[in-house]
Amino acid sequence: MVLLDSKADDGFQLLLMTPKPMIRAFDHILHLCPLSRLQAACHRLKLWPELQDHGGDYVSAALGPLTTLLEQGLGSRLHLLAHSRPPVSEWDISQDPPKHRDSGALTLGLLLRPEGLTSVLELGPEADQPEAADFRQFWGSRSELRRFQDGAIREAVVWEAGSMSQKRLIPHQVVTHLLALHADIPETCVHYMGGLLDALIQGLKETSSTGEEALAAAVRCYDELSRLLWGLDGLPLTVSAVQGAHPVLRYTEVFPPTPVWPAYSFHKHFPERASLLPRPDKPCPAYVEPMTVVCHLEGSGQWPQDAEAIRRVRAAFQLRLAELLTQQHGLQCRATATHTDVLKDGFVFRIRVAYQREPQILKEMRSPEGMISLRDTPASLRLEKDTKQLPLLTSALHGLQQQHPAFSGVARLAKRWVRAQLLGEGFTDESLDLVAAALFLHPEPFTLPSSPQVGFLRFLFLVSTFDWKNNPLIVNLNNELTVEEQVEIRSGFLATRKQLPVMVIITPQDRKNSIWTQDGPSPQILQQLVVLAAEALPILEKQLMDPRGPGDVRTVFRPPLDMYDVLIRLSPRHIPRHRQAVDSPAASFCRGLLREPGPSSLMPVLGYDPPQLYLAQLREAYGDLALFFYDQHGGEVIGVLWKPTSFQPQSFKASNTKGRMVVSQGGEMVMVPNVEAILEDFAILGEGLVRAVEARSERWTV
Amino acid sequence: MVARRRKRAARDAEEGIPSPPGYSAVPIKFSEEQKASHYLYMREHRVRDGAKSSWPQKRTLFVLNVPPYCTEECLARLLSPCGPVQSVELQGKPELTESPKEPKSKFFHPKPVAGFQVAYVVFQKPKGVPAALALKGPLLVSTESHPVKSGVHKWISDYTDSVLDPEALRVEVDTFMEAYDRKMAEEEAKAKEEEGVPDEEGWVKVTRRGRRPVLPRTEAASLRVLEREKRKRARKELLNFYAWQHRETKMEHLAQLRKKFEEDKQRIELMRAQRKFRPY
């Protein structure tokens, strides 16, 4: 009713025209198959009167008692339990009706309460009360007498679950235990589709956790660092604010960082700069990405008013910060002109000192008469984005994660999918996080997702069905936008549609410009994403709804490679994130990390990712002839797509000779791309990394 | 000059390497193993009469399409058989206007990733230029005696170079700030001298240090002043006095209504086209 009354959303469209299949509406789904077991269940539950009432239909007879049993067992974890039977097929009048056991599988959907996800304990009545006997009888062997801290001795059931992902699957344990105990349905007949996609966001070599604990550890380390920074004395201006600006600090980094303890024998030492360097004869060292932290100092009028002078003063601050952190807290630091890298407990943070008035000074332009006017320049926009808006967004999403703990899993899985489809570089990290946040802030007509799987399906649905051309995606973080403002934004959107980028995401901090998608996807890449999502959704849903088992859920995560003109295959030796690949490799190279904390007197190799360096060179040199696609999480292949306009012969221009050669066509000198030399260049520029260059030369003609 | 160019173009056409008019094409490869090569297009660097250029006339060679793995040292080495090379400069785009080249600090202006570039090669003697234009090639960037790093080795050496010395940074920052402070102090002293002193026509410049409060010279401040003036004027004028004013206001009102109606019509068309619920 609230939805129908709300003026901001299109209630009719959402309530009456959005399909809600079971797999997308319910957090966990389970299939009971084969149905012949329900006959045994009826006998066990002594349901002969009901069996007679339903005329021998044991499925309908068992359904009611089974659902009450499960509802009682799941208790406060459950919001709603629903069932779905396959429809009875028609049969010819002269034949017997089909047997019940042939009519497919019984599907139950569980809608879970987010609050119940973290409890591992089912509390029963006190041991001396008569209800305790009922409790023991209900839970069977799992119910134990336990003494609690308040002195009471109660019956309790404790489930083993170490990490967050295991706790999310506690309903699975409850259901299988109860069905086996009371209804004689063994575990092999229960197919639970709750955590099948978790494998894709699991860390390297970890099978029991999907990384929430690692993210929490990184955020704790960041909190300690910010406390150190606040308490730092000796800086000419004290620190007034420390804000994070990295996906780890908003809990949406796909593979969270683990503490890094580099093995010194694996690297080359550079003792003058207290750093480790990669060695050419060893495989590439592990990839360590420093987490950006923006540090604001107290206001002061002493800053110079000239842009170059401000940069030098900032460099002086970075140096002083590094000195003080090393002297006062013994942390290994390395300062450069724009940032200071700090190694703390195996995590590396990149601290950037920011001056609030710097964007304004960059915007100042003097007209010839001496009048100062403020105009946005690319440098000032970039600085504002990095030092003002990114920290605000990070803290807003951090708050969202505290409210909805499932946000992190959904955002990470969604980003993993987009990057696995080789489209990761078309979209900024922040835009994908905001699309995932929209699923939590505007879940209508669904309820809030409690598991990554259902959130991911809804993400695919949103991406494939949202009308990006005519509607902005409004993400109302912290409920700051009122209904009138939303209506105003929508009506103003159509008027300025031409100046806006092709994918528009509006937040309360950014009501007009959609800054996160300004350089974002081009129309072709957005279209490709929409098409891929529309294809992937039915395939994945069918796999998950299949009662016999899901098959290979990684199918939708493998990109189609036949649409690329050239494939560059990389050798895993120099891909540091190789283990993060969708099909985790059986064996990979040692990357020079120790398991236990080791010495931390030298800074590890930071931000060294050969595939990204290679791609940067390729894009700079051939960016106007081709587009390059790569999966940054351990992808082994780079897809190259020639731009069709670049293959048309052009007349000679001194500014446009990159990679082209002159041929004479019809008596005239025209420029065409020098494709053979370019293909050889791919191999030269990536020497050591590139294993093979496969040119599908039937796909293009010069 | 023209005859020479035509002969050269004819000669190149005979040898099978087509080149644009005025340029000569020289193939260049990374090493012996490559089969296909890129082509450097060279010509003597000329500017229009009267325009100035940073490079000396007659001795400068302008090269297009320098591949990314060819550095300045490589190019100097490859062209040294044509004559002693004084300097080589690689740029992203051909120089269109003259700009003063100040030395770039490696801390504050790190070199961007290089793609295909344009080179200006200055020889010590003018005869180097025609010798270079007559080169046949194919030029080899990386040879046994002068190997050039690419791929993993290059990235490792780039990473090593990127780890910079904080002491050198400190020294550079200190020298810059000293020079800046000195410049600021000089400007202050000069402004203080000229305080209240009229110039040759008798005008006295109004600065922040004067006795009367002054508006900052920004666009925002001047817009505010203009806004205030406009409001004062609007308060004084009568809007409903003359007959033509009545007529004008009514016509404007009607035109605005018409415009809004058109916009609404368009919006409704769009909404109707986007409608997804079509029960019939």
Report yes or no on A512 lying in a domain.
no
Nearest to B163 among A270, A374, A679 (CB): A270
Q: Give, to the nearest 10 degrees, the angle between helix A390-403 and helix A407-420.
A: 120
- From the list A278, A680, A685, the residue facing B156 with the nearest CB is A278
> Which residues in A lie closer than 8 A to residue B64 (C-beta atoms)?
654, 657
Dihedral sign for Cα A615, A621, A622, A627, please: positive
Q: Which helix (H) or strand (E) holds A320?
A: helix A307-329
CA distance A579 to A634: 6
Residue B10 reports pLDDT greater than 50? no
User: Are the C-beta atoms of residues A177 and A122 closer than 8 Å to each other?
Assistant: no
Taking the C-alpha atoms of residue A196 and residue A206, their distance in angstroms, rounded to an integer, is 15
Are B219 and A374 an interchain contact pair (Cβ–Cβ within 8 Å)?
yes
Starting at the earlier edge strand, list the strands of the sheet with A106-112. A78-84, A106-112, A28-32, A190-193
HEC letters along A32-87: ECCCCHHHHHHHHCCCHHHHHHCCCCHHHHHHHHHHHHHHHHHHHHEEEEEEECCC
Tokens of B57: 């006339």
CA distance A691 to A611: 12
Distance from CA of A126 to the nearest CA of B (A): 57
Q: What CATH number should be reported for the domain holding residue A633?
A: 3.30.70.3030
CB B78 within 8 A of CB B141: yes
3-state helix, strand, coil in chain A (%, to 5): 45, 20, 40
Neighboring chain A residues of B37 at a CB cutoff of 8 Å: 677
Interface test with B, best of A681, A691, A702 (most B CBs within 10 A): A681
Which chain A residue is nearest to residue B113, measuring alpha carbons?
A617
Whether residues A372 and B219 touch (CB distance < 8 A) is answered with: yes
Alpha-carbon distance of A235 to A221, in angstroms, equals: 22
Are B55 and B45 in contact by the 8 Å Cβ rule? The answer is: yes
Q: Are the C-beta atoms of residues A517 and A429 closer than 8 Å to each other?
A: no
Contact between residue A637 and residue A569 where contact means Cβ atoms under 8 Å apart: yes
CB count, 10 Å around CB of A498? 5
Q: A12–B277: do the CB atoms touch at under 8 Å?
A: yes
User: What is the percentage of chain B residues whose pLDDT exceeds 70?
Assistant: 90
Order across the sheet with B60-66: list the strands. B85-91, B117-123, B60-66, B38-44, B24-29, B139-140
CA dihedral of residues B161, B165, B169, B170 (deg, nearest 10) = 180
Size of interface A-B (CB pairs under 8 A): 182
- Structural tokens at position A181: 């105990």
Residue type, B51: A
Tell me what the mean pLDDT of segment B143-158 comes to.
89
- How far is A356 from B176, CA to CA, in rounded Å? 22
Rounded CA gap, A578 and A557, in Å?
A: 16
Q: Which two tokens stand for residue A328?
A: 């006062």
Q: Confidence band (pLDDT; 50, 70, 90) for B99?
A: low
Among A197, A215, A245, identify where a domain stops: A197
Nearest alpha carbon to residue B133 among B35, B48, B8, B219 = B8
Within an 8 Å CB–CB cutoff, is residue B261 touching chain A? no
Using alpha carbons only, give the angle A586, A587, A588 rounded to the nearest 5 degrees: 130
- Which of A256, A250, A165 minimizes the C-alpha distance to A203? A256
Mutate to test the interface with B, among A275, A658, A674 (most CBs of B within 10 A): A658
Q: Which of A51, A39, A43 has its CA nearest to residue A101?
A: A39
Nearest CB to A335: which of B69, B166, B274? B166
Please tell me which of the candidates A279, A371, A614 has its beta carbon nearest to residue B217.
A371
Of A383, A392, A467, A480, whose CA–CA distance to A441 is shortest?
A: A480
d(C-alpha A319, C-alpha A339), whole Å: 9
Among A197, A222, A253, which residue terminates a domain? Answer: A197
Instruction: Locate A88 and state its tokens.
Output: 């009875």
ipTM metric: 0.87
**Cα Rg of chain A, angstroms:** 30
Rounded to 5 degrees, φ, ψ at A463 are -65, -40
A426 belongs to a structural domain = no
**pLDDT tens track for A637-684:** 999 999 888 888 888 877 777 878 777 777 778 888 888 889 999 999
Residue A49 belongs to what domain range? 2-197
Q: Cα(A156)–Cα(A97) distance, rounded to whole angstroms?
A: 47
Which among A453, A420, A436 is positioned nearest to A557, based on CA atoms? A420
Strands A372-374 and A340-344, how do they pair? unpaired
Which CB contacts under 8 angstroms, 24+ apart, belong to B198-207?
Answer: none
- How much of chain B is helix, strand and coil, in % rounded to 5? 45, 15, 45
Final residue belonging to a domain, choices A197, A225, A254: A197
- What integer pLDDT is reported at residue A204 of this predicted model? 67
Provide the domain count of chain A.
2
Separation CA A625–CA A621 (nearest Å): 9
Domain contains A603:
yes
Backbone angles phi, psi at B66, to 5 degrees: -75, 125
Cα A521 to Cα A514: distance, rounded to the nearest angstrom: 12
**Low-confidence residues in chain A, pLDDT < 70:** 1, 3-4, 7-9, 11, 101, 203-206, 702
Shortest CA gap B86–chain A (Å)? 24
Element (H, E) at A332: strand A332-335
CB of B242 within 8 Å of any CB in chain A? no
A620 with B113: Cβ contact below 8 A: yes
| H-only helix segments in chain B | 2-15, 72-79, 128-133, 152-162, 166-193, 219-236, 243-274
Q: Are A633 and A416 in contact (CB under 8 A)?
A: yes
Q: How many CA atoms lie within 13 A of A262 on its CB side?
A: 25
Helix (H, G, I), strand (E, B) or coil at A269: strand
Residue type, B96: L
Q: What is the pLDDT of residue B13?
A: 45
Closest CA to B21 of B5, B39, B32, B34: B5
pLDDT score, position A99: 75
Name every chain A residue with its beta carbon within 8 A of the beta carbon of B68: 617, 620-621, 681, 685
What count of Cα atoms within 13 Å lies in the side-chain half-sphere of residue A465?
14
Query: How far apart (Å, rounded) are the C-alpha atoms in residues B16 and A180?
Result: 83
Which of B33, B113, B155 to mutate to test binding with chain A, by most A CBs within 10 Å of its CB?
B155
- B116 and A680 within 8 Å at the Cβ level: the answer is no
Q: How far is CA A576 from CA A541, A606, A637, in A?
A: 33, 12, 14
Record: contact A280-B169, CB cut-off 8 A: no
Structure tokens at B98: 């003259």
| Least Cα separation, residue A575 to chain B (angstroms) | 11
**Chain B residue with the nearest C-alpha to that of A604:** B163
Query: Would residue A362 count as lying in a domain?
Result: no
Residue A259 resides in a domain: no
**Residue A400: helix, strand or coil by DSSP?**
helix
- Residue type, position A445, single letter: P
With a threshold of 0.95, does the pTM exceed it? no
Q: SS3 for B70?
A: coil
Any idea which residue has 């206007």 for tokens? B97
B125 φ, ψ (degrees, to nearest 5): -125, 150
**According to the model, what pLDDT value does residue A121 have?**
83
Nearest Cα residue to A228 out of A330, A329, A81: A329
* Assigned token pair, A492: 């103003």
A152: phi then psi, degrees, rounded to nearest 5: -75, 150
Which helix (H) or strand (E) segment holds residue A458: the answer is: helix A452-465
- What does each C-alpha distance from A433 to A464, A629, B203 come to in angstroms? 16, 21, 60
CA A310 to each of CA A319, A357, A366, A384, A391: distance values in angstroms, whole numbers, following the listed order: 14, 10, 18, 15, 21
Is residue B145 within 8 angstroms of chain A, CB to CB?
no
